[in-house]
Chains A and B, each alone.
Chain A
Amino acid sequence: MVFSSAIFLFAFLPLVLLLYFLVKGTERKNTVLLISSLFFYAWGEPIYILLLIGTILLNWMFGRLVIRENPHRKGWLTAAVLVNAGVLFVFKYLAFVCQNLNLLIGRSGSNSPVSIALPIGISFFTFQALSYVIDVYRGNGASQKKIKNVALYISLFPQLIAGPIVRYQTIAEQIEHRKTTPEMIRTGVRRFILGLGKKVVFANNFALAADAVFGSDQQYGSLVLWIGAIAYTLQILFDFSGYSDMAIGLGNIFGFEFQENFDYPYISKSVSEFWRRWHISLGSWFRDYVYIPLGGNRVSSKRHILNLFIVWLLTGIWHGANWTFVVWGLGYFVILVTEKYLKLDRILEKKLWVIPHLYTMLFVILGWVVFRSDSISAGWQYIAGMFGGLVKRADEWILIREYMGEYAGIFLLSFALLIPWHRVFHLKKHFYRVRILASDILCFCLFLLSVAYIMKGSYSPFIYFNF
């Protein structure tokens, strides 16, 4: 089930909240959360719940075997990495690899001989499970004797299927000792409502706007293509950051403090900065578990570039089993190496008006076009069109007028959410109570609008669901 569904909001969540706050003691509360998390996953994946349980069991066992006292712990760590990567490979990449091998050896037909349904959230929970084992190995967290705590860490439903990827070291203490305060509930509810509104009101409407362009069999000029690309750029931000907001908000309500996953990424002045603001939990996971162990930037330039190549190749692959994701990831590799070695990121940090923002958004938007496309050639065709003539036919102006007539409002409203106004105008202390009251009123209106949309049952796919 998804957070923006009626069954989650009006059946699952109230029941879990009721049980959670009725029971006393962290231990019992953890039991409630664990059972509800497993039920939550089983509801969407009644068969692959066994995969999740298997992942929990295996990684708990690995966590017991990589402790300092075990002389063979390195071997067990290797086994943990191979097993988790293996599981991810089989369910997510095997079909893709087989399909491409078929093409390589010249076999006719483009369908893969292997067809395995992708378990929801597998990329998130395997990374999270691996994070536990590695953190125990490094001594950044104690090996859990209680399998229940590991199970809860891996399966906690707020962040199970679409992140943020929570590190074991940040949450271990909270699992055993936490308290939900009224302040946390207040913050959590606000955050949840903001995320729900981002997803249901903004992301879903931008999805319609983007699909109208990407899904059309018509040839359009650059104006329409740019509008479609910007619509998708906004869709993916609101979809993913909205889900993260809901996850963080729910975490707060249950007494957890998760790390931020998005920090207004579209105000970035360089691509390097963009990746410090976008999907922060994934970026930091690859930094801490791949980049730094490979040597990071404390190696020769050649080796540093290789390290970056590996990280961005893996980042692209993590997003999906398609060459478009590989190209997307490697595209960022090229830009980031360029920024780093030409020291562009330092130049762009200077006050150059909107130029650094436009520069960054140009690459981000083009990247999303490739990301969204079904194939590299489709992505290339779309991008080529974005730099072609403004319109291909005279009547395209009618389409643009009608399209903008429908979506201009939502585009304009969304810009209010892209910029951290409170930081821009340093509003921290000014009119605090009035600001809080106004923002709460707006929040409640957003909540009612979101609930109304959910009740109406509008178009509501999560983009990052299949990762």
Chain B
Amino acid sequence: MKKWKFLDENWLAVLTGAVIFFVCIATFVNHYKDFASDLVSGIRTGRTTFSETGLNCIKPVIAGLEEDFSKNLYGNKYAVEIPGLFNRLMNKKVTEDPEARYTVYKMSNHQLTHNYTGYDMTDYAENYLKFAAEMKQIGIPLLYVQAPFKINKYNNELPYGIKDETNPLSDSFLEMISPECDTADLREVIHQEGFDYSSLFYNTDHHWTAETGLWASSVLADELCGRYGLELDTSHLSRENYTFTTYKNYMLGSQGKRTGMIYSGLDDFILIEPVYETKYHLQIPKIKLDKEGSCSETLLFEQYMGSNFYEDDPGRVYTGDNYALMVIQNLLSSNESKILLVKDSYSKSVIPFFASTCKELHVIDLRVYKHSVSGYAKENGIDCVVVMYNPSAVVRPEFFEFQKE
């Protein structure tokens, strides 16, 4: 009786304490090795910087530990649903993020987007122009392709009072490079074709859909054939060459994971597989992958088809992760063309379709690739280099480090 009376009077304190201790213990049990290793590496770094910064060297260690703890907090992936519900009830259009560039805006078409502001494209343009000069010297054509962004340049549906800051950044970059370099702007093509803009993108993710990737690969192939007279097989790039399997309400994209699915809803996921015969040899040195098979066996990573909304990312079905280097040989190619694609994550849903057009498709991601791109192109006898970025990549310096050695 005494025990029940105690609980009856103190259940709030007991339950609150239980939640706090549970999260504390679960977090440490799951991640104590990560915290320990962060602490050790922080101390090592601190030791080396102590002579310059004095006791200030402790601050980054503390900041790093705190950030890691917050990121690995037990249940944080799921807890986002509660503020998401609250935000939905309040009809909030803006979900702030500790990292300002990841603040999520809900557009009037109910799609979520980020909006990048305050970047100066000058250095990036200079790096690109240097790279372009190198490519000109070695005689390999270079094309910059501007992929579209979720915010429609011609009809942004951002919340009232929020300006589109992202498309102007790409505009400014293109303005700086286009006098000396070949460029193609898919945003203009989309605008001219009069597409239903929001249908090109996922609602809850920052990427375009795989169907848009298929369309983009056809536009890209046409550009390369038209501009540089390359022999590319474009016969497989129309919709009738593929099956489209729709998984309804299957995916919670990157932006939806930040706001919670109660706030954002879910996306359908469409798996696009070729009906024509395919045979590829895929090499990904970073993960020591070397295999041969059909498109579905090599370029579609169906192990990522999981439906855990918080853990899985079905978008990775299309060529997996962002690897430093991928080499795809089309063993049924009717031409000898070799293309190097310098990519961001948008290109993942272009690669499985574009690979059918040429003999070899080499794919580099500058976020992880640590060597000279022009050197690679020269060594591997590349016929044409394509750099294709979406506007959110245009603001990241690592995408423009073409000359790393």
Residues of A at the B interface (CB closer than 8 Å) are: 1, 5-7, 9-11, 13-15, 17, 43, 46-47, 182, 185-186, 189-190, 193, 201, 205, 208, 212, 216, 218, 395, 398-399, 402, 405-407, 409-410, 440, 443-444, 447-449, 451-453, 455-459
Is residue B15 contacting chain A, with contact meaning CB distance below 8 A?
Answer: yes
22 contacts between A and B (CB under 8 A): A1-B66, A9-B20, A10-B23, A10-B69, A11-B24, A14-B21, A14-B24, A216-B161, A398-B160, A399-B161, A406-B90, A409-B91, A410-B90, A443-B12, A444-B16, A451-B19, A453-B82, A455-B79, A455-B80, A457-B76, A457-B98, A458-B98
Question: Which among B52-60, B169-177, B282-290, B336-344 touches the partner chain?
Answer: B52-60
B83 interface neighbour in A14, A17, A186, A449, Cβ under 8 Å: A449
Q: In the complex, which of the residues B12, B55, B62, B81 contacts A186, with contact meaning CB atoms closer than 8 Å?
A: B12
**With a CB–CB cut-off of 8 A, which chain B residues contact A449?**
82-83, 86
Q: Which of B11, B28, B82, B90 contacts A452 (CB 8 A)?
A: B82
Interface residues of B (CB under 8 A from A): 6, 9-13, 15-17, 19-21, 23-24, 27-28, 54-56, 58-59, 62, 65-66, 69-70, 73, 75-76, 79-83, 86, 89-94, 96-98, 159-161
Known: A46-B56, A189-B17, A444-B12. 8 other contacts (CB 8 A): A1-B66, A10-B73, A186-B10, A193-B12, A201-B86, A406-B90, A448-B19, A449-B83
Q: Would A459 and B20 be within 8 Å (CB), given that A186-B10, A402-B159 are in contact?
A: no
B90 is contacted by which of A17, A190, A409 (Cβ under 8 Å)? A409
**Interface of chain B, main secondary structure:** helix
CA distance A448 to B85 in the complex (A): 13
Min distance, Cβ A148 to any Cβ of chain B, angstroms: 24
The answer to whether A447 and B16 have CB atoms under 8 Å apart is: yes
The 8 closest A-B pairs by CB, nearest first: A452-B82, A455-B79, A46-B58, A455-B76, A189-B13, A459-B96, A452-B79, A14-B24
Q: How far is the CB of B110 from chain A (nearest CB, A)?
A: 15
Q: Do A7 and B83 touch (CB < 8 A)? A: no
Query: Is the beta-carbon distance between B80 and A402 smaller than 8 angstroms?
Result: no
Chain A residues near B20: list those with CB within 8 A.
Answer: 9-10, 13-14
Chain B residues contacting A205 (CB-CB under 8 Å) are: 90
- The CA of A186 and the CA of B86, in the complex, are separated in Å by 27
Residues of B within 8 A of A208 (CB): 94, 96
Q: How far is the CB of A321 from chain B (nearest CB, A)?
A: 23
Q: Which residue of A lies closest to B66 (CB)?
A: A7
- Give the shortest distance, in Å, between A188 (CB) and chain B (any CB): 8
In contact, A190 and B12 (Cβ under 8 angstroms) = yes
Query: Are B19 and A447 neighbours in the complex by a CB distance under 8 Å?
Result: yes
For A13, list chain B residues within 8 Å (CB).
20
C-alpha gap A409/B81 in the complex (Å): 18
Which residues in B have their C-beta under 8 angstroms from that of A444? Answer: 12, 15-16
The residues of B that contact A193 with a CB separation of less than 8 Å are 12, 16
Of all chain B residues, the one with the shortest Cβ separation from A447 is: B16
A-side contacts of B91, CB under 8 Å:
405-406, 409
Most buried by B among A10, A193, A406: A10
Which of B16, B70, B83 lies at the interface centre, i.e. has the most chain A CB atoms within 10 A of its CB? B83
Look across to chain B and name the residue whose beta carbon is closest to the beta carbon of A458: B96
Are B66 and A5 closer than 8 Å at their CB atoms? yes
Q: Which residues of the other chain, B, contact A448 by a CB distance below 8 angstroms?
A: 19, 82
In the assembled complex, the CB of B38 is this many whole angstroms from the nearest CB of chain A, namely 13
B199 → chain A closest CB, angstroms: 25
B6 — nearest CB in chain A belongs to which residue?
A: A182
Q: How many Å lie between the Cα of A52 and that of B72 in the bound state?
A: 32
Question: Which residues of A lie under 8 Å from residue B62 when comparing CB positions?
Answer: 43, 46
Selected from B54, B59, B69, the residue in CB contact (under 8 A) with A6 is: B69
